């Protein structure tokens, strides 16, 4: 393939600003699909979890043609918890499309991903997306993006960034807002800017082979495959090469298959040259960061540096009375094998065995990062328990430091008082405040500990209409004790099955998390107490039967619908003396074995 006709572009944006939808349109309008071909929505979101949640979790590769140019697209996650993905895949790119919502403007994750792109000296094209929104304010957004570039100390040539306006949902793009949309419009303006402003990949086709693995894919037939960009040299099928591993060792292997990306599919090829992004099969234990290089003249590329984890949780084997009833993989050996596989593909994740108990301390970039791993394991028939998330502290010059987040909140003016009060109690410090059209944008610096479990409280305080997002800011001084949950819980007295009559009477004591007919065990948590202490309850206590019927005593039992908590909400809800039991069929809250109830 002609090296000068290749363009490698990463799409970076805040979560839910339309990256994956934009890629869909670029592919569909490239003419690479047949007219009668069925094309699914959000092509690049291939994981079930991504389609369910509407977010990108793992970076994906695809490509399309524009004229005689071959444009490789790298769709990156927008959530900072998956920033490890962003950091390593930007190595494959020669430029970036920065996607910004025409109403919301730059958000915390926009700051995060743009910072990573500028660190890699990538030229940036700004795409103002969703311009069809009634509340779109494109000029304001462009000004905000410029301010963001200045804040990140972008060089002068990058500050003169090209701007294109688009509606990925409706499939059109414009170089100027005043331009007319003809025949429904198209995405050619974006492709044209990519060709003009993103440089072709540099590298010497005659030099020693160099290709660093940025992501890992898996094929049931070929096993693990390394995906990366050929920086120098060429690679061919059955070519003997060397793999420079992360520990510095060199291992000889032979390439068995080479795949190029066409749209969202892999197509086998015989040879790959400089600038091409390909998937390579042939090394079973390939990991992120290794370099495929020449056997005779091995030249490893610099290792990918990853921001450190900020949160950890303990994954321990299930020891509840219901252990082993629903899961297929239940032992600590099963859990360790699964974690080993995960860290090979996710370099932002770390784990180590616990020293004082059976299980593992798993560290990641945030609650979402770890909860996605837990959900993936659960769907793969694993059964285990997890503890409350703990932030990872560090000590410098005799001072205890903890991670802080930059939190951005958009709320209606009527709710700002409640939000400011709550965040103040959680040790948050307001740094910015702005009002426009009845909406207030607040920016806080707050300890990561303060945000654990805050999202559900925030949604209650704002009647579900607020928006919050955050990104790692820095390590700062320890902020002191933070109380996240004020109330106690309702704890089951003994193994039983819940009964409607008993739950009806328990409603007065607090909020229930489940309904009647559910098998329960001693120590399981079934609700939140209305008081600050825990209560031991009997959810199977039936009505005493007599042969005397009294008027008014046999009314129908009316139960308030229980609070159904998601996995993330359960993880954020528990205290240090509680656990979340995770199985393929159930998510249960419980007290740790041997814990004395505070009631």
Mean pLDDT over 44-60 rounds to 49
- What fold is seen in the domain 489-544+556-580? OB fold (Dihydrolipoamide Acetyltransferase, E2P) (2.40.50)
pLDDT at 6 over 80: yes
Residue 130 is assigned to a ligand binding site: yes
Residue 462 is assigned to a ligand binding site: no
Q: Which two tokens stand for residue 70?
A: 């071959």
Higher-confidence position of 425 and 453: 425
pLDDT band at 545 (very low <50, low <70, confident <90, very high): low
CA distances from 439 to 104, 118, 436, 462 (A): 11, 31, 5, 12
Query: What is the model's pLDDT at position 590?
Result: 93
pLDDT band at 553 (very low <50, low <70, confident <90, very high): low
Nearest-10 crossing angle of helices 454-461, 416-425: 160
pLDDT at 51 over 60: no
Mean pLDDT over 150-179 rounds to 84
pLDDT band at 36 (very low <50, low <70, confident <90, very high): very low
Mean pLDDT value across the chain? 82
Residue 131 is assigned to a ligand binding site: yes
pLDDT band at 40 (very low <50, low <70, confident <90, very high): very low
Share of the chain above pLDDT 70, in %: 88
pLDDT at 34 over 60: no
Q: Which two tokens stand for residue 592?
A: 């740790």
pLDDT band at 16 (very low <50, low <70, confident <90, very high): low
Contact 112, 140 (CB under 8 A): no
Whole-number Å distance between alpha carbons of 346 and 362 = 12
The reply to whether 394-477 shares the fold of 311-390 is yes
- What fold is seen in the domain 311-390? Alpha-Beta Plaits (3.30.70)
Residue 17 is assigned to a ligand binding site: yes
Residue 18 is assigned to a ligand binding site: yes
Scanning 380-493, the segments in alpha helix (DSSP H) are 416-425, 448-451, 454-461
Q: By mean pLDDT, which of 221-225, 303-307, 490-494 is the weakest?
A: 303-307
Mean pLDDT over 240-257 rounds to 85
Query: What is the model's pLDDT at position 30?
Result: 66
pLDDT band at 107 (very low <50, low <70, confident <90, very high): confident
- What fold is seen in the domain 3-197? Rossmann fold (3.40.50)
CA distances from 59 to 55, 163, 183, 227, 269 (A): 11, 24, 33, 11, 22
Whole-number Å distance between alpha carbons of 424 and 33 = 54
Query: What is the model's pLDDT at position 595?
Result: 67
Whole-number Å distance between alpha carbons of 21 and 41 = 8
210-293 in CATH: which number?
Answer: 2.40.30.10
Query: What is the model's pLDDT at position 567?
Result: 85
Residue extents of the structural domains in the chain? 3-197, 210-293, 311-390, 394-477, 489-544+556-580
Query: What is the model's pLDDT at position 587?
Result: 92
Q: Does domain 394-477 have CATH number 3.30.70.240?
A: yes
Query: What is the model's pLDDT at position 460?
Result: 80
Query: What is the model's pLDDT at position 336?
Result: 93
Residue 21 is assigned to a ligand binding site: yes
Residue 19 is assigned to a ligand binding site: yes
């Amino acid at each position: 393939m002609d090296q000068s006709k290749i363009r490698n572009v990463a799409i970076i944006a805040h979560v839910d600003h339309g990256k994956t939808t934009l890629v869909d349109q670029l592919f569909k309008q490239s003419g690479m699909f047949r007219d009668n071909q069925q094309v699914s929505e959000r092509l690049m979101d291939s994981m079930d979890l991504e389609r369910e949640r509407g977010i990108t979790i793992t970076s994906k590769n695809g490509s399309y043609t524009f004229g005689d140019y071959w444009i490789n697209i790298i769709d990156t996650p927008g959530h900072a918890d998956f920033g490890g993905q962003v950091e390593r895949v930007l190595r494959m790119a020669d430029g970036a499309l920065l996607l910004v919502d025409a109403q919301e403007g730059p958000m915390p994750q926009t700051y995060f991903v743009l910072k990573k792109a500028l660190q890699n000296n990538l030229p940036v094209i700004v795409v103002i997306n969703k311009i069809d929104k009634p509340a779109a304010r494109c000029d304001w957004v462009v000004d905000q993006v410029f301010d963001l570039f200045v804040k990140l100390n972008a060089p002068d040539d990058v500050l003169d960034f090209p701007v294109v306006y688009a509606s990925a949902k409706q499939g059109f793009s414009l170089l100027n807002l005043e331009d007319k949309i003809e025949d429904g419009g198209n995405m050619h303006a974006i492709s044209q800017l990519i060709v003009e402003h993103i440089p072709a990949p540099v590298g010497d086709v005659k030099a020693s082979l160099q290709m660093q693995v940025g992501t890992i894919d898996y094929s049931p037939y070929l096993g693990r495959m390394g995906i990366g960009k050929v920086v120098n040299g060429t690679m061919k099928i059955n070519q003997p090469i060397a793999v420079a591993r992360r520990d510095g060792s060199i291992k000889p292997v032979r390439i068995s298959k080479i795949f190029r990306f066409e749209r969202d599919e892999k197509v086998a090829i015989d040879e790959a040259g400089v600038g091409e992004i390909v998937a390579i099969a042939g090394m079973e234990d390939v990991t992120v960061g290794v370099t495929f290089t020449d056997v005779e003249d091995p030249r490893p590329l610099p290792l990918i540096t990853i921001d450190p984890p900020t949160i950890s949780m303990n994954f321990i084997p299930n020891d509840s009375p219901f252990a082993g009833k629903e899961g297929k993989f239940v032992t600590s050996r099963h859990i360790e094998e699964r974690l080993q596989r995960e860290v090979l593909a996710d370099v932002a994740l770390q784990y180590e065995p616990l020293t004082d108990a059976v299980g593992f301390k798993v560290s990641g970039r945030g609650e979402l990062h770890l909860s996605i791993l837990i959900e993936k394991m659960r769907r793969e028939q694993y059964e285990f328990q997890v503890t409350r998330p703990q932030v990872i502290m560090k000590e410098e010059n005799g001072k205890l430091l903890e991670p802080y987040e930059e939190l951005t909140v958009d709320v209606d003016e009527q709710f700002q008082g409640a939000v400011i009060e709550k965040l103040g109690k959680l040790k948050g410090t307001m740094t910015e405040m702005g009002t426009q059209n009845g909406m207030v944008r607040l920016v806080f610096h707050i300890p990561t500990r303060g945000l654990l479990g805050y999202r559900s409280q925030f949604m209650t305080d704002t009647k579900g209409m607020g928006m919050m997002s955050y990104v790692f800011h820095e390590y700062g001084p320890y902020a002191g004790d933070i109380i996240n949950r004020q109330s106690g819980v309702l704890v089951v007295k003994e193994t039983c099955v819940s009964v409607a009559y008993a739950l009806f009477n328990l409603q007065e004591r607090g909020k229930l998390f489940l309904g009647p007919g559910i098998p329960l065990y001693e120590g399981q948590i079934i609700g939140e107490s209305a008081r600050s202490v825990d209560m031991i309850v009997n959810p199977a206590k039936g009505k005493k039967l007599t042969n005397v019927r009294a008027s008014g005593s046999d009314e129908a039992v009316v139960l308030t619908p229980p609070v159904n908590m998601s996995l993330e909400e359960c993880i954020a809800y528990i205290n240090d003396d509680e656990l979340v039991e995770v199985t393929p069929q159930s998510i249960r809250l419980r007290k740790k074995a041997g814990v004395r109830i505070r009631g």
